[in-house]
A and B are shown apart, each in its own frame.
Chain A
Amino acid sequence: MTGTLPERFATWFGSRGWTARPHQLDVLAAALGGEDVLLIAPTGGGKTLAGFLPSLSELAATPREGLHTLYVSPLKALSADVARNLVVPVTDMRLDISIETRSGDTTADRRKRQRETPPNILLTTPESLAVLLSQPKSEEFFAPLRRVVIDEVHALAGTKRGDQLALCLARVAALAPGMRRIGLSATVAHREAIRRYVAPHARIIEVAGGAAPEIGMILPAGRLPWSGHMGLFSTPEILDRIRLATMTIVFVNTRAQAELVFQELWKLNFETLPIAIHHGSLEMAQRLRVEAAMSAGTLRAVVATSSLDLGIDWGSVDQVIQVGAPKGVSRLLQRVGRANHRMDEASIALLVPANRFEVLECEAAIAGVAAHELDGDAPKPGGLDVLAQHILGCACAAPFHPDALFDEIRRAAPYDALAREDFDATLAFVENGGYALQAYEQYRKLFRDSEGLLHVMSDRVMRLHRMNIGTIVEAPVLKVRYGGRGGGTLGEIEEYFVNMLVPGDTFMFAGRLLLFQRLRENVVEVTDGGTGEPKVPAYAGGRMPMTTNLASRVRAMLNTPSLWAAFPEPVREWLELQQKRSAMPGRDDLLVETFPRGDRWYLVAYCFEGRNAHQTLGMLLTRRMERFGMQPLGFVATDYVLATWSASEPTDIDRLFEQDMLGDDLEAWMDESSMLRRTFRNVAVIAGLITRNYPGMEKNRRQVTVNSDLIYDVLRKHQPGHILLRATRADAASGLTDIGRIAEMLGRIAGRVHHVILSRVSPLAVPVLLDIGRESVRTEGSDEALLEEAALVAEATGEAEPPPLRMHPSHRANLSPKRNSRQGRLFG
Chain B
Amino acid sequence: MTSAPLHIAGERLMLDPAGALHWPAQRILVVSDLHFEKGTSAAARGSLLPPYDTRETLVLLSQLIRKYGPRHVVCLGDSFHDAKGSSRLQASDLARLTQLTIETDFIWVLGNHDPLPPVGLSGTAVDEHKVGPLVFRHEAQAGRVMGEISGHFHPKATVPVRGTQVCRPCFIADGYRMMLPAIGAYTGGLDVRDVAIGSHFPRGGRVFLLGRERLYSFPIAPSRPNAGAKREYPEPVLTRG
Q: List 9 A-B contacts (CB under 8 A).
A: A437-B52, A500-B160, A691-B46, A719-B52, A777-B163, A800-B217, A823-B5, A824-B175, A826-B175
Pairwise interchain contact A706-B186, C-beta atoms closer than 8 A? yes
Q: B217 contacts which chain A residues (CB < 8 A)?
A: 791, 794, 800-801, 803
Assess whether B159 is interfacial by the CB under 8 Å rule: yes
Q: B235 contacts which chain A residues (CB < 8 A)?
A: 700, 703
Assess whether B72 is interfacial by the CB under 8 Å rule: no
Q: In whole angstroms, how far apart are the Cα atoms of A778 and B237 in the complex? A: 28
Q: Which residue of A lies closest to B224 (CB)?
A: A503
Q: Which residue of B lies closest to A465 (CB)?
A: B46
Q: Which residue of B lies closest to A718 (CB)?
A: B52
Q: What are the interface flags for B29-65 relative to A under an 8 Å C-beta threshold, 1 for contact and 0 otherwise?
A: 0000000001110111111111111011000000000
Q: In whole angstroms, how far apart are the Cα atoms of A715 and B43 in the complex? A: 15
Assess whether B90 is interfacial by the CB under 8 Å rule: yes
Pairwise interchain contact A439-B40, C-beta atoms closer than 8 A? yes
Pairwise interchain contact B40-A784, C-beta atoms closer than 8 A? no
Pairwise interchain contact A790-B218, C-beta atoms closer than 8 A? yes
Q: In whole angstroms, how far apart are the Cα atoms of A399 and B147 in the complex? A: 60
Pairwise interchain contact B160-A499, C-beta atoms closer than 8 A? yes
Assess whether B126 is interfacial by the CB under 8 Å rule: no
Which of B103-111, B115-123, B165-173 lies at the binding interface? B165-173
Pairwise interchain contact B49-A711, C-beta atoms closer than 8 A? yes
Assess whether B6 is interfacial by the CB under 8 Å rule: yes
Q: In whole angstroms, how far apart are the Cα atoms of A621 and B135 in the complex? A: 52
Assess whether A16 is interfacial by the CB under 8 Å rule: no
Q: A496 contacts which chain B residues (CB < 8 A)?
A: 165
Given known contacts A519-B191, A719-B50, is B213 in contact with A784 (CB within 8 Å)? yes
Q: What are the interface flags for A814-826 relative to B under an 8 Å C-beta threshold, 1 for contact and 0 otherwise?
A: 0100001101101
Given known contacts A519-B191, A718-B55, is B48 in contact with A787 (CB within 8 Å)? no
Q: Which residues 487-518 of A have a CB within 8 angstroms of B?
A: 495-496, 499-500, 502-503, 517-518
Pairwise interchain contact B206-A790, C-beta atoms closer than 8 A? no
Q: Which residue of B lies closest to A461 (CB)?
A: B46
Q: What are the interface flags for A783-818 relative to B under an 8 Å C-beta threshold, 1 for contact and 0 otherwise?
A: 110111111011000011101101000000001000
Residue of B48, B53, B167 near A499 (CB, 8 A) is B167
- A-binding residues in B (CB < 8 A): 2, 4-8, 10, 12, 38-40, 42-53, 55-56, 90, 158-168, 173-175, 185-188, 191, 193-195, 205-206, 209, 211-219, 221, 224, 226-227, 234-241
Q: Which residue of B lies closest to A708 (CB)?
A: B240
Q: B186 contacts which chain A residues (CB < 8 A)?
A: 706-707, 710-711, 714
Q: A691 contacts which chain B residues (CB < 8 A)?
A: 45-47
Residue of A705, A707, A710, A824 near B6 (CB, 8 A) is A824
Closest approach, in angstroms, between the C-beta of B241 and any C-beta of chain A? Answer: 5
Q: In whole angstroms, how far apart are the Cα atoms of A82 and B43 in the complex? A: 42
Pairwise interchain contact B214-A803, C-beta atoms closer than 8 A? yes
Residue of A437, A461, A500, A778 near B90 (CB, 8 A) is A437
Pairwise interchain contact A783-B50, C-beta atoms closer than 8 A? no
Pairwise interchain contact B193-A518, C-beta atoms closer than 8 A? yes
Q: Which residue of B lies closest to A484 (CB)?
A: B226
* Residue from A499, A502, A783 with most neighbouring chain B CB atoms (10 Å): A499
Q: Which residue of A lies closest to B158 (CB)?
A: A499
Residue of A702, A714, A800, A828 near B53 (CB, 8 A) is A714
Q: In whole angstroms, how far apart are the Cα atoms of A788 and B12 in the complex? A: 25
Q: In whole angstroms, how far apart are the Cα atoms of A671 and B6 in the complex? A: 33
Assess whether A161 is interfacial by the CB under 8 Å rule: no
Pairwise interchain contact B44-A443, C-beta atoms closer than 8 A? yes
Q: What are the interface flags for A676-712 relative to B under an 8 Å C-beta threshold, 1 for contact and 0 otherwise?
A: 0000000000001111001000001011111111110
Q: In whole angstroms, how far apart are the Cα atoms of A460 and B47 in the complex? A: 12
Pairwise interchain contact A788-B7, C-beta atoms closer than 8 A? no
Given known contacts A499-B165, A714-B53, is B216 in contact with A827 (CB within 8 Å)? no
Q: A518-B195, A711-B50 are in contact. List 4 more A-B contacts (CB 8 A).
A: A707-B240, A714-B53, A783-B166, A791-B218
Q: B7 contacts which chain A residues (CB < 8 A)?
A: 820-821, 823-824, 827-828
Q: Which residue of B lies closest to A778 (CB)?
A: B164
Q: Which residue of B lies closest to A719 (CB)?
A: B50
Q: In whole angstroms, how far apart are the Cα atoms of A691 and B90 in the complex? A: 24
Q: Which residue of A lies closest to B157 (CB)?
A: A499
**Size category, A interface:** 35 or more
Q: Which residue of A lies closest to B52 (CB)?
A: A718
Q: In whole angstroms, how far apart are the Cα atoms of A440 and B41 in the complex? A: 11
Closest approach, in angstroms, between the C-beta of A252 and any C-beta of chain B? Answer: 21
Assess whether A485 is interfacial by the CB under 8 Å rule: no
Q: In whole angstroms, how far apart are the Cα atoms of A708 and B238 in the complex? A: 12
**When A and B form their complex, which 3 residue pairs have the shortest distance between CB atoms, in order from nearest?**
A824-B7, A827-B175, A433-B48
Residue of A694, A702, A804, A828 near B175 (CB, 8 A) is A828
Q: Which residues 690-748 of A have a CB within 8 angstroms of B?
A: 690-691, 694, 700, 702-711, 713-715, 717-719, 722
Q: Which residues 759-773 of A have a CB within 8 angstroms of B?
A: none
Pairwise interchain contact B49-A518, C-beta atoms closer than 8 A? no
Pairwise interchain contact A803-B43, C-beta atoms closer than 8 A? no
Q: B218 contacts which chain A residues (CB < 8 A)?
A: 790-791, 794, 799-800
Q: What are the interface flags for A408-443 relative to B under an 8 Å C-beta threshold, 1 for contact and 0 otherwise?
A: 000000000000000000000100110101011001
Given known contacts A443-B43, A518-B224, is B241 in contact with A714 (CB within 8 Å)? no
Q: In whole angstroms, how far apart are the Cα atoms of A495 and B238 in the complex? A: 13
* Residue from B10, B40, B43 with most neighbouring chain A CB atoms (10 Å): B43
Q: In whole angstroms, how far apart are the Cα atoms of A359 and B189 in the complex? A: 46
Assess whether A520 is interfacial by the CB under 8 Å rule: yes
Pairwise interchain contact A435-B47, C-beta atoms closer than 8 A? no
Given known contacts A518-B193, A519-B194, is B206 in contact with A704 (CB within 8 Å)? no
Assess whether A476 is interfacial by the CB under 8 Å rule: yes
Assess whether A102 is interfacial by the CB under 8 Å rule: no
Given known contacts A521-B237, A689-B48, A714-B56, is B5 in contact with A776 (CB within 8 Å)? no
Q: What are the interface flags for A508-546 relative to B under an 8 Å C-beta threshold, 1 for contact and 0 otherwise?
A: 000000000111111000000000000000000000000
Q: B45 contacts which chain A residues (CB < 8 A)?
A: 691, 694, 704
Q: Which residue of A lies closest to B35 (CB)?
A: A706
Q: A790 contacts which chain B residues (CB < 8 A)?
A: 159-161, 166, 216, 218
Closest approach, in angstroms, between the C-beta of A681 and any C-beta of chain B? Answer: 9
Assess whether A556 is interfacial by the CB under 8 Å rule: no
Assess whether A464 is interfacial by the CB under 8 Å rule: yes
Residue of A521, A522, A784, A815 near B212 (CB, 8 A) is A784
Closest approach, in angstroms, between the C-beta of A558 and any C-beta of chain B? Answer: 30
Assess whether A23 is interfacial by the CB under 8 Å rule: no
Residue of B50, B188, B219 near A799 (CB, 8 A) is B219
